[in-house]
Structure 1
């Protein structure tokens, strides 16, 4: 019987494109855009990316109940 080795490298992306942060958070894109206070980063001109670590902090804040919406935070998201 023949033996085969398969070497696979798997790594998690830190920066997520357009629909990926919505999927990562479990929200539809429409709801993610209005709910998420995390601002994207433009690493390459015209390409917006969301940092997964920032998303994790936001989700942890929501879970702990420490996120409070103020008028300014709501307007910042729009």
Structure 2
């Protein structure tokens, strides 16, 4: 019997598009845009990406209860 080897290499992306970042955080894009304080990085002109590590820090802060929104931080995100 013949055997076949399949080598698959999967590389997790560090920088995510907005829809990917929202999905990563478990939120619809609409809610992600309103809730997420993480600033995107412009890698190329017009190409905004969210750093997975920054998203992890934000989620960890939310879990620990250390995130407190002020009126200014909420308005900055809008």
Instruction: Compute the displacement of 1:28 (Å).
Output: 0.5
> Hey, which bits of structure 1, 4+ residues long, moved more than 2 A?
none
State how far apart, in whole Å, the 1-side matches of 2:14 and 2:4 are.
32
Question: TM-score if structure 1 supplies the norm length?
Answer: 0.96
Gaps of 5+ in 2: none
Note the alpha carbon deviations across 1:4-27, whole angstroms, 9 max, x for none: 111111111000012000000000
Question: TM-score if structure 2 supplies the norm length?
Answer: 0.96
State how far apart, in whole Å, the 2-side matches of 1:27 and 1:49 are.
16
State how far apart, in whole Å, the 1-side matches of 2:55 and 2:76 are.
16
Number of matched residues?
A: 78
Q: RMSD of the alignment, in Å? A: 0.7
Instruction: Compute the displacement of 1:44 (Å).
Output: 0.8
